[in-house]
A and B are shown apart, each in its own frame.
Chain A
Amino acid sequence: MSLKIVVLAKQVPDTRNVGKDAMTAEGTVNRAALPAIFNPEDLNALEQALRLKDAHPGSTITILTMGPGRAAEVIREGLFRGADNGYLLTDRAFAGADTLATSYALATAIKKIGEYDIIIGGRQAIDGDTAQVGPQVAEKLGLTQITYAEEILNINEETKRITVKRHIDGGVETVEGPLPIVITVNGSAAPCRPRNAKLVMKYKRALGAQEKVAITKDGATLPYAEQYEKLPYLNITEWSVADVDGDLKQCGLSGSPTKVKAIQNISFQAKESKTLTGSDKDIEGLIVELLENHTIG
């Protein structure tokens, strides 16, 4: 059976290698200092989608992302690895969204896409670490969800049920659910495959409307401009709130009940130090202490 798969992906600042200038003086993320990357667990999710496409020829993968114009990069990265198309939800009204408003926007866009069997994304994004968006999308669409997935084992074409191995504390469990379904993928799943040479050459000029504007804003001409008319797949679709028939009140800041009241910079400081010898007694004492305060366990 051929599947319609939607991959939820987010462009995030690379918080894995933060330097001194990672935060602004106001305590917000200094996005200019951190390179924008494809959220790592979303790449794990994309790999699971690509494996389904390999196993079920004729399947299609759509990348859905929300962000500023430059977030079209996430869609290109998806296309370079085997996704078929993508939509960029981009509108000032989407800005400042918490997980509720984000999942509202995504669910609304998924309804607009219309046909879907599997909606799959990473467990969480490295800039927020909430792990709420996937489950909320499932709730808003009224779908079953499987979280912490590590591997999609198979799909029974007759019963239209999917079997998934999911990561749990101290092991894995295998669960089954009905299609259509929302799956969030854990970072322990298989890493994403590399970009494919032919796909990179095919899609390297794919651009969203805002990116085209940015290139031409100082009077520069768009390279190979004629290609965009001839080859529709080079135009990355941008959707505004209106394009997905969204309710403005539920989008962005106005749709976000989460309010940041204050942000504090915390610097860790050692207040006291202990000296331990290498004796068995000292080591045992340390282990007991670390167990008690849950540093290890």
Chain B
Amino acid sequence: MANYYSEVPELKFHLNNPMMERICQLKERDYRDKEEFDYAPQDYADAMDSYDKVLEITGEITGEIIAPNAEGVDEEGPHCENGRVRYASGTTQNLDAMVKAGLNGMTMPRKYGGLNFPITPYTMCAEVVAAADAGFGNIWSLQDCIETLYEFGNEDQHSRFIPRICAGETMSMDLTEPDAGSDLQSVMLKATFDEENNCWRLNGVKRFITNGDADLHLVLARSEEGTKDGRGLSMFIYDKRDGGVDVRRIENKLGIHGSPTCELVYKNAKAELCGDRKLGLIKYVMALMNGARLGIAAQSVGLSQAAYNEGLAYAKDRKQFGKAIIEFPAVYDMLAIMKAKLDAGRALLYQTSRYVDIYKALDDIARERKLTSEERAEQKKYAKLADAFTPLAKGMNSEYCNQNAYDCIQIHGGSGFMLEYACQRIYRDARITSIYEGTTQLQTVAAIRYVTNGSYLATLKDYELMPILPEYEGYMNRIKEMTNKFAACSNAVKEMNDQETLDFLARRLYEMAAVNVMSHLLLQDATKAPEMFAKSLEVYVNYAESEVEKHFNFIRKFNTEKLDNYRK
């Protein structure tokens, strides 16, 4: 009886983080639902017990159904038939199990049929599912688009649409077009108001739309004729029941085969506005993308875990030169760094999700009543931390899962290059994570302002005050030194006072900030659970220190004139 949750005790460790008490209190509004809903928690301990139990269910479905189906889904893939998507048979089975288990609309309020879970346990479910089948993870995790409809839609839209998602209908976010990928300001899909029928009509083409034949779509379209930039874009809800959107084709991809990536044709499709006109990109899609980025970070951690599991199992099993290959330093070095990146990346993921949880719960409370000045300060603090941490969590974890998948194949040697082991699927599936929902390069763009305005540095300084085990003093000092080097590099780049040089060096500064943050988080985790994290702490700090040193050397010797040698 495989269980993808209980077999990874690190997940429960992160679930039990002390910040959860505040998160639950806010999300449950001091446990007021308990009189009205028979599945609402009585108190904090009860809520935590419920999260644990629901994660158990997710882990069991993942182990018993999704994982055994993964290979078949990868081979069969979805098909496009008469403008509709037909999922691989395994995908349909997976989805059916998740719906029957009631694992949809997990974060939505109970009055709409949701579970009212914080984002952190939901994100854990997403990680667990992705560890077995990252492609299926997309279809299931796109339910979090409902967060955006909940945040910006009106009450009428809430009551019509949210219960459907909680009952298991699927979602998609229709943003990308042939000429608008990373640059969403160029979206051209046309939205015109149909006076006669008092609705909006969508016309045009979208491309690379994940789960493009979903029941409900959030669509970015140009509602303001004659405009060319992001201010002319609005967000719309398209309901498949109304018709008007057909799937023209499904892309043939390197990985995540189970997840249908569609080209969509909108022919006078009826749609309704979500929120206000002109705020589509600048407000709503930004929120949507932030949620999705956390989702990709979770998917990446799931893939990292899968890569580590496969690599470890093979290294124990495979014998060469008369012993298991795990006994060779060259192999256990790879496995140790894989595990360290996994533990560090997961710590970053859930630290981020907790930040998101606090500010989003406060945002939601603010829709019911005025926040107190303390609550407003708390909301502002965590919103800023969430904004700063989301691009770190997405970018770093997506890179780490690619590195772990690469090392996983390396451990397998020639067998890993053959298509018979799971590692090849993990490798192919991992590849997209550093591309979609904003490439790592764009995560750097989102993060660099927090380097230059000192936000990361301030957070790192706060972390230096966290309690640690006395025997970890040495690690703390090393991380402090790393942080000094990061600060020195940030200042040096600022002093160069040249935007292009800053853009050029941004990735290095971003990585320095990220490895410093992750070193601290692992130090905090190892303080609480040395038996679980002590080794990874040692391995990761050794790694992070050398990464910082590498970037420090590069940046210290760099100046604006040198850019010329890089330009093509």
Binding site for B on A (CB under 8 A): 193-202, 204, 224, 227, 231
CA distance A227 to B35 in the complex (A): 11
Q: Which of A193, A201, A202, A231 contacts B100 (CB 8 A)?
A: A193
B42 within 8 A of A: yes
- Selected interface stretch from B53-61, B252-260, B300-308: B53-61
Residues on the A chain within 8 Å of B65, using CB: 194
- By the criterion CB–CB under 8 Å, are A194 and B54 in contact? no
B:75-96 near A, CB below 8 Å: none
- By the criterion CB–CB under 8 Å, are A193 and B38 in contact? no
- By the criterion CB–CB under 8 Å, are B115 and A198 in contact? yes
CA distance A16 to B39 in the complex (A): 34
- By the criterion CB–CB under 8 Å, are A201 and B50 in contact? yes
CA distance A231 to B35 in the complex (A): 11
Residue of A nearest to B98 (CB): A194
CA distance A37 to B39 in the complex (A): 25
Residue of B39, B42, B50, B53 most packed against chain A (CB within 10 A): B39
- By the criterion CB–CB under 8 Å, are A197 and B103 in contact? yes
CA distance A200 to B106 in the complex (A): 14
Leading 7 A-B pairs by shortest Cβ distance = A201-B39, A197-B102, A194-B101, A193-B100, A198-B39, A202-B38, A202-B39
Residue of B nearest to A37 (CB): B1
Known pairs A201-B50, A201-B53, A204-B50; A196 contacts B102 (CB<8 A) = yes
CA distance A204 to B50 in the complex (A): 9
Interface flags for B197-217 (1: CB within 8 Å of A; 0: not) read: 000000000000000000000
- By the criterion CB–CB under 8 Å, are B60 and A204 in contact? no
CA distance A198 to B103 in the complex (A): 9
B422 within 8 A of A: no
B49 within 8 A of A: yes
Residues on the B chain within 8 Å of A231, using CB: 38
Known pairs A224-B42, A231-B38; A200 contacts B100 (CB<8 A) = no
Residues on the A chain within 8 Å of B365, using CB: none
Residues on the B chain within 8 Å of A197, using CB: 39, 54, 57, 101-103, 106, 115
- By the criterion CB–CB under 8 Å, are B115 and A194 in contact? no
Residue of A nearest to B166 (CB): A198
10 contacts between A and B (CB under 8 A): A194-B100, A195-B60, A196-B100, A197-B103, A197-B115, A200-B50, A201-B40, A201-B53, A202-B38, A224-B42
CA distance A194 to B102 in the complex (A): 9
B279 within 8 A of A: no
Residues on the B chain within 8 Å of A199, using CB: 39, 102
Residue of A nearest to B104 (CB): A197
Additional 6 contacts, C-beta under 8 A, given A197-B106, A198-B102, A231-B38: A194-B60, A194-B97, A196-B102, A197-B102, A201-B40, A204-B49
Cβ of A224 to closest chain B Cβ, rounded Å: 6
CA distance A149 to B359 in the complex (A): 54
Binding site for A on B (CB under 8 A): 38-42, 46, 49-50, 53-54, 57, 60-61, 65, 97, 100-103, 106, 115
Residue of B40, B46, B97, B115 most packed against chain A (CB within 10 A): B46
- By the criterion CB–CB under 8 Å, are B38 and A194 in contact? no
CA distance A231 to B103 in the complex (A): 25
Cβ of A196 to closest chain B Cβ, rounded Å: 5
Residues on the A chain within 8 Å of B50, using CB: 200-201, 204
- By the criterion CB–CB under 8 Å, are A200 and B54 in contact? yes
Cβ of B68 to closest chain A Cβ, rounded Å: 12
Residues on the A chain within 8 Å of B46, using CB: 224
Residues on the B chain within 8 Å of A195, using CB: 57, 60, 101
Residues on the B chain within 8 Å of A194, using CB: 57, 60-61, 65, 97, 100-101
- By the criterion CB–CB under 8 Å, are B54 and A201 in contact? yes
Cβ of B282 to closest chain A Cβ, rounded Å: 36
Residues on the B chain within 8 Å of A200, using CB: 50, 53-54, 57
Cβ of A85 to closest chain B Cβ, rounded Å: 14
Residues on the B chain within 8 Å of A204, using CB: 49-50, 53
CA distance A208 to B42 in the complex (A): 21
Residue of A199, A200, A224 most packed against chain B (CB within 10 A): A200
Cβ of B81 to closest chain A Cβ, rounded Å: 26
CA distance A224 to B100 in the complex (A): 28
- By the criterion CB–CB under 8 Å, are A196 and B101 in contact? yes
Residue of B nearest to A204 (CB): B53
Cβ of A239 to closest chain B Cβ, rounded Å: 25
Cβ of A65 to closest chain B Cβ, rounded Å: 21
Residue of B nearest to A192 (CB): B100
Residues on the B chain within 8 Å of A202, using CB: 38-39
CA distance A201 to B97 in the complex (A): 18
CA distance A197 to B166 in the complex (A): 12
CA distance A200 to B49 in the complex (A): 11
Residues on the A chain within 8 Å of B40, using CB: 201
Residue of A nearest to B110 (CB): A198
Cβ of B111 to closest chain A Cβ, rounded Å: 13
Residues on the A chain within 8 Å of B60, using CB: 194-195
CA distance A81 to B295 in the complex (A): 28
Residues on the B chain within 8 Å of A198, using CB: 39, 102, 115
Cβ of A260 to closest chain B Cβ, rounded Å: 31
Cβ of A225 to closest chain B Cβ, rounded Å: 12
CA distance A15 to B293 in the complex (A): 45
Residue of A nearest to B64 (CB): A194
Residue of A nearest to B43 (CB): A224
Residues on the A chain within 8 Å of B54, using CB: 197, 200-201
Cβ of B166 to closest chain A Cβ, rounded Å: 10
CA distance A197 to B101 in the complex (A): 6
CA distance A236 to B46 in the complex (A): 20
Residues on the A chain within 8 Å of B49, using CB: 204
CA distance A200 to B56 in the complex (A): 11
Residues on the A chain within 8 Å of B103, using CB: 197
Cβ of B348 to closest chain A Cβ, rounded Å: 27
CA distance A224 to B53 in the complex (A): 17
Known pairs A198-B102, A201-B50, A204-B50; A193 contacts B97 (CB<8 A) = yes
Residue of A194, A195, A196, A202 most packed against chain B (CB within 10 A): A194
Cβ of B34 to closest chain A Cβ, rounded Å: 10
Residues on the B chain within 8 Å of A227, using CB: 42
Cβ of A282 to closest chain B Cβ, rounded Å: 31
Residues on the B chain within 8 Å of A193, using CB: 97, 100-101
Cβ of B564 to closest chain A Cβ, rounded Å: 59
CA distance A18 to B373 in the complex (A): 62
